[in-house]
A = this chain, B = another copy of it.
Amino acid sequence: MKYAVGVDIGGTTVKIGIFEENSKLIDKWEIPTVTEDGGKRIIPDIAESVLSKLEEKDIKKSDVLGVGVGAPGAVDDEGYMPNGAVNLGWKPFNLREEFEKEIGLRVIGANDANVAAFGEMWQGGGLGYSDMVAVTLGTGVGGGIITGGKIIAGAAGAGGEIGHIHIEDNESETCGCGNKGCLEQYASATGIVRLAGRRLEKDDTPSVLREGAVTAKAVFDAVKAGDKLACEVAEQFGYYLGKGLAAVANVVNPQVFVIGGGVSKAGEMLIPFIEPSFKKYAFNPCRCAKFAMAELGNDAGIVGAAGMVIKADE
């Protein structure tokens, strides 16, 4: 039996999993991310934790195909991180080379969003597809583009930054990136709250959203309860997301969009809000793209990281 290790480095914890090459998860655990001193302990900490777990499980290093790593920053095809990783304190360096030196195993590194996308294709909502776009609706809007079964890293490791596609000319507030009218300003959890706030201020239409804190979850719960104002907000969200994904479809023509992230917990009820606008704005041959929900949740990173290693030689 051969094995692969999947590592997902976050700002507070590192998730690690050991998988059989048939994709079965044997064990998963977490260690804290120590970001002090420019994050210099992160890689040695992971290496030590992985190697001691392999020993504990009586798995020989020669039976490990390699270690896949998802990191929170741009990573190019050579494993170089041109901007480092701000959240970890990392300056620009070659993640793959450093990691290989430390752990003595083959390492494949990629951006964490792209790795999670790969996980969803290999074992989640994108199973059975090779041309897929993963859309992560969380605090921001992220994306991971896979064509012909391969992640598109992009020249600066910034492939799939779909949250910053310009989608609205009439926007007065500024996005975190400095522009105005980015997809992220309407389709992220924060964006949905913003849309709801604007709608609530517009007039006195009664709504359950006038009681308690307005969150993306509260909006979609209210939609499920038939709240008219919340439905209008969901329609606006869907209008913008569909319009943005139509642009993505015209570029890479995917078979499927897999929707994940915190907002996606609302479930498949999101899809009917997105599809009409998507079909309106997408070029006819690109309209065939399906919509599916992500299935792996927080495990998408470790699954995708291990999957990159297992699928690398196919």
Residues of chain A at the chain B interface (Cβ within 8 Å)? 74, 77, 83, 131, 143, 145, 147-148, 150, 152-162, 164-166, 169, 177-179, 243, 246-248, 250-255, 280-281, 283-286, 288-289
Contact present for A159 and B77 (CB under 8 Å): no
Report if A154-B74 is in contact (Cβ < 8 Å); known contacts: A161-B283, A177-B284, A285-B161. Answer: no
A156, chain B: closest CB distance, angstroms:
5
| The 5 A-B residue pairs with the shortest CB-CB distance in the complex, in nearest-first order | A154-B253, A164-B283, A158-B285, A155-B255, A159-B253
A51, chain B: closest CB distance, angstroms:
32
Report if A131-B158 is in contact (Cβ < 8 Å); known contacts: A77-B148, A166-B281, A251-B247. Answer: no
A1, chain B: closest CB distance, angstroms:
31
Cross-chain pairs A/B with CB under 8 angstroms, 6 sampled: A158-B283, A161-B283, A162-B250, A164-B283, A169-B169, A179-B280
**Pick from B77, B161, B248, B288: contact of A286, CB under 8 Å:** B161
Interface hub of A131, A177, A247 (most chain B Cβ within 10 A) = A247
Report if A251-B252 is in contact (Cβ < 8 Å); known contacts: A286-B154, A288-B156. Answer: yes
Report if A152-B147 is in contact (Cβ < 8 Å); known contacts: A179-B281, A247-B247, A247-B251. Answer: yes
Q: A148-B150, A148-B153, A248-B251 are in contact. List 10 more A-B contacts (CB 8 A).
A: A145-B251, A147-B159, A155-B255, A157-B253, A161-B250, A161-B251, A164-B250, A165-B246, A165-B251, A166-B243
Task: Give complex CA distance A145, B169 in Å.
Answer: 26
Q: For residue A170, which residue of chain B has the nearest CB?
A: B169
Contact present for B145 and A131 (CB under 8 Å): no
Interface hub of A74, A248, A289 (most chain B Cβ within 10 A) = A248
Q: For residue A179, which residue of chain B has the nearest CB?
A: B281
Chain B residues near A288 (CB-CB < 8 A):
155-156
Contact present for A154 and B281 (CB under 8 Å): no
Q: For residue A287, which residue of chain B has the nearest CB?
A: B156
A87, chain B: closest CB distance, angstroms:
15
Chain B residues near A162 (CB-CB < 8 A):
250-251
Chain B residues near A77 (CB-CB < 8 A):
148
Interface hub of A77, A157, A162, A165 (most chain B Cβ within 10 A) = A165
Task: Give complex CA distance A253, B247 in Å.
Answer: 14
Task: Give complex CA distance A177, B250 in Å.
Answer: 13
Chain B residues near A164 (CB-CB < 8 A):
250, 283
Task: Give complex CA distance A64, B220 in Å.
Answer: 61
Task: Give complex CA distance A289, B164 in Å.
Answer: 16
Contact present for A247 and B154 (CB under 8 Å): no
Report if A251-B159 is in contact (Cβ < 8 Å); known contacts: A169-B169, A283-B164, A285-B83. Answer: yes
